[in-house]
Every structure is written in structure tokens, then in C-alpha cells.
Amino acid sequence: MTDHSLVFTGVFSAVLVLGLLTKFYLASRQIRHVARNRGAVPAAFAATISLTAHQKAADYTIAKARFGMLEMAFGAAVLLGWTLLGGIDALNQALSGSSLANWGALVPQLALLAAFGLISGVLDLPFTLCSTFRIEERFGFNKMTFKLWLTDLVKSTLVGIVIGLPIVALILWLMGSAGKLWWLWAWGVWMGFNLLVLVLYPTVIAPLFNKFKPLEDEALKARVTALMQRCGFAAKGLFVMDGSKRSAHANAYFTGFGAAKRVVFYDTLLKQLSPGEVDAVLAHELGHFKHKHIIKRIISMFAMSLAGFALLGWLSSQVWFYTGLGVRPNLTGANDALALLLFLLVVPLFSFFISPVFAQFSRKHEFEADAYAVAQTDGKDLQSALLKLYQDNASTLTPDPVFVKFYYSHPPASERLGRMIPSVESAAT
């Protein structure tokens, strides 16, 4: 072990512990704050939200936060097992010394990533199962049978292999063959791949999991089309997705690019909202487009992955990066898969600490989209739609403010409605 390697082991361990402590602190704040406010509906919502609904939201939030703590502790232990305790090293030694190496440099590397993916997937299974069939089930959200869950698992694994394997193989090949600037090439390939998935997702991937039917309700269709024309927005179609086959949670979204954009409503959303409220929710989504939030998100994703690939390009040539994480680099074979794997494991530990910055931007965007919706439709409709959605999703009305800063991509209901009320009043007068 060199000095650099020891220092990196120390930094890695410190950041792992610090991150875990921070996450536990935030979760316990959230649990305490929600529990403290469980007894009464906040005054602003007393007329619209029942005490039963408020307490269901509190219990659901607390159950998820407790479960999250268990998951974090387990995740940290598994990460230590893979790195400093030698899991990846053992896997790599076994595979690189096996007869797979006769098939060329790529095969043992792909086998390493596949084996890692398989083992991590199996380790995560109890948690996904428990989350769906214990927590979601207990609060009446889960609509999945075990059979559907299993079919989903098989399908998504196959999709992952069909789509993921070629792109990973291509990136590993670039790492090994494209010279010093391989990371720039790999970044270009990765961006192209992301754009391709954006195009293929609505028409090829999503239909594997859900049925999409054109919206049939003529009155709603006319209303929604009028709204889109008013906002100067072209879409290829309005679709209803059978979200209810998995979960009672409701949603609406846009997918696709350019003129191929489509609007997708969950059937659960159409069941819960009045036509005016559906309009308001759609106007909110249109607001994201009008304010160019989607493009901004894609551009920042491009920029961050460029920085990520540049960093990986540098780290992959540093011996301490491997040894500091408990892995002996291969002396003869390629180390690209090892570098990629370690990088993907370690980066989230560090990026967690800047996640509040991104959450802040996201919440700002939500306010902007709300303001747009209030300007285009009846603000009262958006208010009542949001209240219904927060209630149906059992989102707590009283989250801990510090927890919100770290994790909430959408502002809590109280803040969103609080900002809307003045504009509703001024629109009315």
C-alpha cells in the first residue's frame, strides 16, 4: 500500500461514514417532525383535509423513512463488503484467472460487470419486495400481484441486458483502444445512447410494461387540445396508461421529442381529477416546457457526465484509486471494467453532498410551472388537483424543512399552495 492509497482509503471511509450519519440525521429529523405534527391537520388545510387522511400520510411518511434507514445501513455495509473487505477483488481475481480470458480482453470484463449486477440485484431483492408488498401494500397503494412483479423483474432484466450490454461493451472497448482521450469519445457515445433511449422509450420500451390507449373521452380531449393550442404546443397524441395495474399513485407526463411528443395520463389520474383539474395539471407540465426546464435538465446532464467521464479518465490511470478501495489492479489484463465499477460505486458518496443544489433548482422549476398553469387555467383547479394528488399519494403536509432542502424535488403542498393563493386572488379581482 502506498501513501496515496492509504489517504484515499481514509477519505473514502470518512465520506462513507459522514454521508451515512447525515442521512440518518435527516431521516430521524423527518420522523420526529412528522410524528410531532401528527395530532392535528395544519390550519391552512383544516377545511380540505381530514384528520384520518393527515394521519395516514404521517404514518406512511414515517414508515418509508424508517425503512429507508434500514436500506441505507445495509447499502453501506454492502459497499464496504464490495470494496475494502475485498468483494470486487475476489470476483475479479476469479474471473480474470478463468478460461473466459481466452475469449479476448472484453469478455472477462463484461462478465465482471454482469456478475456484479446480478449479485447486487439479488441483495436488493428483499428490499424491493418488502417495499412493494409490505409498505405500499399496508397503505393500500400496491396493486401488483407477485406474478406481475416477477414478470416485471424478468422483463426489465432482459431490457437491461439487450440495451445495456452493447453500450457497456462499446465504452469498455473505447477505454481500451481509443487512446488518452477515450473519455471524450465515450462521453459522445453515452450522450448519443441517452438521446436514443429518450426517443425509443415512449414507443418501444414503455409499451413492454404498460398498455397505452388513445384518450377516448371526447369532452376532455377537446378541452386538453384547446389548452395545448392556446399554449402553442404540438403533440402527436394523448394517451392513457394503465398505471392502476401496479399502483394507486397518480401521475401525468410528457415523453418524446419534437413533433413526436406525446402526453400520457395515468388512468388513476383521470379517475381522481375533474376535467378542469386535469387541464390544470397538464398546464403545469406545459409550464415545464415553456420555461425550457427539460432542455436545461438535459444540458446539465450532458455537462455533468462530461465532467464525470473526464474524472474517470484520470482516476482509471491512478493505481491508488484501485488499491485504496481494496482492489488489486490486473497486471496483465485490462482494468477498465474495474475502474468503471469502482467509479460508479464511489461517486454517489460524494455527489450526495451537492444534491441539495439540484433539489433546489428542481423546486424552483416546480414553482415556475405552477405559476404558468395558474396563468393559463383556473388557479383554483390547480389548487384542488394538487391537494387531491398530495392526499392520494399520502404526502405529508408537515415535512421537516431541512429534510425538504436535501431531498424534495417538489416543494411541499403548503409552500406550493401558499405561493398560488395570492395569484389566484389577484386573477379573481
Burial classification of residue 376, based on how many CB atoms lie within 10 Å of its CB (0-12 exposed, 13-18 middle, 19 or more buried)? buried
Give me 173's grid cell. Answer: 472497448
- Beta carbon of residue 145, minimum distance to Zn ion (angstroms, whole number): 31
Q: How far is the CB of 382 from Zn ion (least distance, A)?
A: 11
Smaller CB separation from Zn ion, 89 or 366? 366
> With respect to Zn ion, which residue has the nearer C-beta, 113 or 385?
385
Tell me which residues in 218-257 interact with Zn ion (CB under 5 A): none
- Minimum CB separation of residue 295 from Zn ion in Å reads 15
| CB of 275 vs Zn ion, minimal distance in Å | 20
Binding-site string for Zn ion from residue 319 to residue 358, where x marks contact by CB under 5 A and - marks none: ----------------------------------------
The dihedral of CA 346, 352, 357, 362: what is its sign? positive
Q: How far is the CB of 284 from Zn ion (least distance, A)?
A: 6
Which residues in the 364-423 window bind Zn ion by CB under 5 A? 366, 369
Following DSSP, what letter does each residue of 363-409 receive, concatenated?
HHHHHHHHHHHHHHS-HHHHHHHHHHHHHHTT--SS--HHHHHHH-S
The DSSP secondary-structure symbol of 412 reads: -
CB of 34 or CB of 369, closer to Zn ion: 369
Q: What minimum distance in Å lies between the beta carbon of 377 and Zn ion?
A: 14
Nearer to Zn ion, 136 or 366 (CB): 366
Measured at the alpha carbon of residue 180, what is the angle toward residues 176 and 183, in degrees to the nearest 5? 75
277 or 366, CB closer to Zn ion? Answer: 366
Give the phi and the psi of residue 97 in degrees, each rounded to 5: -85, -5
Q: Which of the residues 87 through 126 are near Zn ion (CB under 5 A)?
A: none
CA–CA gap between residue 97 and residue 309 (Å, rounded):
28
Task: Give me the residues paired with residue 213 across strands.
Answer: 240
Shortest Å distance, C-beta 366 to Zn ion: 5
For Zn ion, give the closer residue by CB, 286 or 342: 286
Whether the Cβ atoms of residue 178 and residue 208 lie closer than 8 Å to each other? no
Residue closer to Zn ion, measured from CB, 24 or 361: 361
The helix or strand, by DSSP H or E, that contains position 356, with its residue range, turns out to be helix 355-376
Q: Which is nearer to Zn ion, 317 or 409 (CB)?
A: 409
**What is the β-pairing status of strands 237-241 and 212-214?**
antiparallel
How buried is 58 (Cβ within 10 angstroms: 0-12 exposed, 13-18 middle, 19+ buried)? Answer: buried
Q: How many residues bind Zn ion (CB under 5 A)?
A: 2
**372 burial type by CB count under 10 A (0-12 exposed, 13-18 middle, 19+ buried):** buried
Compute the distance between CA of residue 304 and CA of residue 283 in angstroms, rounded to an integer.
30
Q: How far is the CB of 369 from Zn ion (least distance, A)?
A: 5
Nearer to Zn ion, 22 or 300 (CB): 300
Report the first-to-last Cα separation within the chain, whole angstroms.
73
Instruction: Name 247's bridge partners.
Output: 142
**Overall residue count recorded for the chain in this entry:** 429
User: At its nearest, how many Å lie between Zn ion and the CB of residue 252?
Assistant: 10
Rounded to a whole number of angstroms, the minimum distance from the CB of residue 361 to Zn ion is 12
For residue 355, the tally of other CB atoms under 10 A from its CB is 14
Instruction: Select 366 or 381, whichever has its Cβ closest to Zn ion.
Output: 366
Binding mask of the shown chain, residues 352 to 371, with x at each position contacting Zn ion by CB under 5 A: --------------x--x--
Helix/strand/coil for 337 = helix
Positions that interact with Zn ion (CB under 5 A):
366, 369
